[in-house]
Structure 1
Amino acid sequence: MNATDRTPADLLRSALAADPGRPLVTFYDDATGERVELSVATFANWVAKTANLLQGDLGAEPGDRLSLLLPAHWQSAVWLLACDSVGVVASVGGHPGDADLVVSGPDTLERALECDGERVALALRPLGGRFPQPPAGFADYAVEVPGQGDRFAPFVPVEADGPALIVGGEELSHAALVARAREDAAKLGIGEGSRVLTGLGYDTWEGLSAGLYAALAAGASVVLCRNLDRLSADALAQRVESERVTLTV
């Protein structure tokens, strides 16, 4: 990664320029048996499409607050980077009534209705599938995102010192987020080419860092596991071996 990268979106651009074909996020859901692997290029394409949806169709602007009601999931990671690309503040688990728009999984739709702004729902089905019946009052992400552009340019440049993320009651700027991610990577021994397996949720900084930001800052990749507690010790050991995991968090 480049020393001049000051936002997570910068880190993603550098990763794309360095090696677009390498894995970035490998996602498992041990409740459904789903496995998805996204290269840097594929992940960046999803981020671009989502950022275009956010900026264009949803009319989001830098400084707007987005309540992100999603579990640890590859699509959650996409939304976090899309928010950063636009300059929207991602409030992880934040109160929808205080947000300008909300992005919700299938289990938090009733809570998400408290948002008076734009509402987007994700079914979180395998392969990014749509809802069988779109939830009332929401745009279905899987319906809206495929037609978005594959390249993204913000209408307004994102200021590195502007707010980027709220998690656990703490607000971080883009630059502070990158700095903390780099510190975490050094502390955990995550380096270029590392494979980090984590079962932590995305509701804390520790989970977000281990499951996305630290690896992105270090040129590493993540094996992100949802419902990891359903896996036996033997099955976990097999996954560590098959995925060439170098660090488990």
Structure 2
Amino acid sequence: MNATDRTPADLLRSALAADPARPLVTFYDDATGERVELSVATFANWVAKTANYLQGDLAAGPGDRLALLLPAHWQTAVWLLACSSVGVVAQIGGPSAPADVVVSGPDTLEEARACTGERVALALRPLGGRFPQPPQGFADYAVEVPSQGDRFAPYAPVDPDEPALAVEGRELTGSQVVEQARADAARLGLTQGSRLLSGLPYDTWEGLSAGLLAPLAAGGSVVLCRHLGQLDAAGLTKRQESERVTHTAV
């Protein structure tokens, strides 16, 4: 990747410039049988649409805080990079009440209602489907985002030395996220073209790094698996072979 990249959004831009057609995120939900594969270009398009929604409709800007109450999922990965694109701090865990925006899955709606700011809900259904009936007090992500613009430009420059991610009780700037992701990629032996299967949750740095940031920093890709424990050893081996996995974090 480009040595001058200083935010996660920079890493995505470099990946898009290098090879937009290659796979970036392959997502499995072993509770539903869902499989979704997103190329760099498709993933970047979702990020742009989400960033436009975050900056425009939700009026979020640099320094604002977004409480991300979502599991390890391809749409969570999109929100992480959208926050980086706008300059919004993505908060993983912790109370949602002080946040300017909360983004929730279907299982954390009650917790999300503590936020007095903007509230967005994701059904996390296959193919990014909508809620059958939107939760009261929440905008439905699947309704709001598809019509957003395919290109994104921030209203204000994103400072890589400002906080970008809050996880496990610590805050990291955009440049620190990139530096740590690169260090993790080196530690894991990831290189360009590596394919990392991760069954780790997104509530720790380790899970966020293995499940998106380290492969992105290395020029690789991730096979992100939710409910991986429902696979037996033979099923896991079959997936590793079929997805051409080179590294595993479970």
Deviation at 1:108, TM superposition (A): 0.2
Unaligned runs of 5+ in 1: none
The secondary structure found in structure 2 opposite 1:223 is strand
Take 1:214 and 1:235, find their aligned partners in 2: how far apart are those partners? 25
Deviations 1:140-177 (A, max 9, x none): 00000000000000000000101000000010000000
1:232 matched residue in structure 2: 232
The secondary structure found in structure 1 opposite 2:97 is helix
1:56 matched residue in structure 2: 56
Deviation at 1:93, TM superposition (A): 1.9
- Does residue 196 (structure 1) correspond to residue 191 (structure 2)? The answer is no
The residue correspondences of 1:63-212 to structure 2 (distance < 5 A) are 63-212=63-212
1:17 matched residue in structure 2: 17
Take 2:98 and 2:226, find their aligned partners in 1: how far apart are those partners? 28
Deviations 1:126-153 (A, max 9, x none): 0000000000000000000000000000
CA RMSD of aligned residues (A): 0.4
Amino acid at match of 2:213: Y
Deviation at 1:69, TM superposition (A): 0.1
Identical-pair percentage: 77
Take 2:94 and 2:2, find their aligned partners in 1: how far apart are those partners? 32
Deviation at 1:56, TM superposition (A): 0.1
Number of corresponding residues: 249
Take 2:93 and 2:239, find their aligned partners in 1: how far apart are those partners? 29
Amino acid at match of 1:192: Q
Take 1:137 and 1:180, find their aligned partners in 2: how far apart are those partners? 37
1:222 matched residue in structure 2: 222
Q: Is the 8 A contact 1:54 1:60 kept in 2?
A: yes
Amino acid at match of 1:212: L
The residue correspondences of 1:24-63 to structure 2 (distance < 5 A) are 24-63=24-63
TM-score (norm 1): 1.00
4+ residue runs over 4 A deviation? none
